[in-house]
Amino acid sequence: MRVASLARAAVTAGALTVLTAAPALAQTAKIDPADTAWMIAATALVLMMSIPGLALFYAGMVRKKNVLATMAQTLAVTAVCSLLWAVVGYSLAFYGDGLALGTLGRLMLGGMTTMTISPFAPTIPEALFMIYQMTFAVITVALVAGSVADRMRFSTFMWFAALWLLVVYVPIAHWVWGGGFLYAAGVLDFAGGTVVHLNAGVAGLVAAVVIGARYGYGSDNFAPYDLALAVIGTGMLWVGWFGFNGGSALAANSRAVFAIVATHLAASTGAVTWMALEWWKRGKPSVLGMISGAVAGLGTITPASGFVEPWQGIVIGLAAGLICFWSCTWLKLACGYDDSLDVFGVHGVGGATGTLLTGVFAAPAVSGAAGLLAGNAQQVLIQLYAIAVTTVWSGIATFVLLKAIAAFGPLRVNKQNEIEGLDVTQHGEALQ
Amino acid sequence: MKQIIAIIKPFKLEDVRDALLRIGVYGMTISEVKGYGRQKGHTEIYRGAEYAVNFLPKVRIEIVVPADDADRVVETIAAAAKTGQIGDGKIFVAPIDHAMRIRTGETDAGAL
């Protein structure tokens, strides 16, 4: 692919810059102030999605005895995975264009200077690209935690989070975005339909099955402690998503704006769709339903934003509301797995749906990339290929990781601790 | 002395308090409690998972009055708390042996 070879050339140029510190090459990096300013803001927005956005969203949906433990997972993932990203994650994901993995050329961010850029974002400082991508890695790992909420041991969860980042997230990010084989195959994933949402969803499903259902699942009352927290969290996710999808343009330009408009319309349509379905089928439109629909719309538009016309965000949001409602209220019950906070039902199913629809709707007028509607049926197959690869790698690697960690200690707390609650048994604290 | 315990619907608390003030009852203790009688509970649905909520929020009022006033207080609470719908609550009356106001050391009727 032309894009890939360009990227390869640029990576080489970047590497030369580091090795020789040649002034002539350094000058080729034209840092754009507007792009830099927008990407700093976008980075802050995406970090806000994790803390406190996702922390509130998740904590509001668990029972009172597990609120702090759920927040602790997101908070600790943010800290630990940020460090790992700087130490080795960024280098393996985005430095070097091997088909399978990058290189260790940016180990401990070595060689990164105020003058270096990444070939993937040639108008902003490389350090900014690095930390922007860091926020994506953080939220993806944090998303997985929702499926095993209420029962996973904090210590084994932290081992899982750290290893999962390196074994699952980093390779997939490299394959799709960092010049790997899916990138070379021409996969369209603007902001993380495969890398973030499908990836987290599949891992969540596997983890929920491996760890097993919560004690009392299907018989006890698992009603959320405080949906008001979840609503606040959803608002932060929604606003933060402007940085997530808009920032994925990696520049302050019209494409970023198109992505933001499509994102907002998809979130709105998802919320309205879920609300209408519940009103019709259950007689009442629930607050949990509205926020679920909004997040489903946001996750589903993610890969497509930046490739589609804004109005197509409405179509994708509608699909998100319908399909994710079905997966959370029917599929999960039919299969019997206990995905506590519907990581698979919302993010996995939404991410796959959005990735596929990107291949249908991609409009040449927006980015140059053409989908099925623009006469490029091939793109749908490429999208399916990426969905399959992500699902297989995330599924198998997650399974192996969990089994390996389980060899050293139990994945879940014992029954008595689960009944008492994770807040007091894992952290020695509790809400009064 | 009699203790009157009334379990009422939370939104009726202000009506009951106003009615009791009008007949000269100047003190009471309330707590937020949960319970059910014939009303049973209701069903909540979260993303397709249905939970039966058996215990509904209620307010429990405790008042201690001279024995002669008990009937009037009970009638006043009943009138103020009534909506006619299921779940209006119940009132119980029990004897009290002894009372003391902590600040002054007054006892029994003087302490009420």
Chain A environment of B53 (Cβ under 8 Å):
221, 223
pLDDT tens track for A281-333:
999 999 999 999 999 999 999 999 999 999 999 999 999 999 999 999 999 99
pLDDT tens track for B40-69:
778 888 988 888 888 899 999 999 999 999
pLDDT for the residue numbered A135:
98
Q: Quick count: other Cβ atoms within 10 Å of Cβ A21?
A: 13
Question: Global pTM?
Answer: 0.88
Residues of chain B with pLDDT under 70: none
CB contact under 8 A, B47 and A282: no
Q: All domains of chain A, ordered by start, with CATH? A: 2-212+223-412 (1.10.3430.10)
Say what percent of chain A tops pLDDT 90: 92
Q: All domains of chain B, ordered by start, with CATH? A: 2-111 (3.30.70.120)
pLDDT for the residue numbered A187:
98
Mean pLDDT of A233-250: 98
CB contact under 8 A, B48 and A342: no
Chain A interface disruption, residue of B47, B54, B56, most A CBs within 10 A: B47
CB contact under 8 A, B47 and A222: no
pLDDT for the residue numbered A432:
86
Nearest CA in chain B to A219: B51
Residue A11, pLDDT > 60, answer no
Mean pLDDT of A36-60: 98
pLDDT tens track for A184-216:
999 999 999 999 999 999 999 999 999 999 999
Residue A141, pLDDT > 90, answer yes
Cβ of residue B26 closer than 8 Å to a chain A Cβ: no
CB contact under 8 A, A221 and B53: yes
| ipTM > 0.90, yes or no | no
Chain B interface disruption, residue of A62, A221, A288, A331, most B CBs within 10 A: A221
CB contact under 8 A, A223 and B46: yes
pLDDT for the residue numbered B52:
86
pLDDT for the residue numbered A28:
56
How many beta-carbon contacts under 8 Å exist across A and B? 29
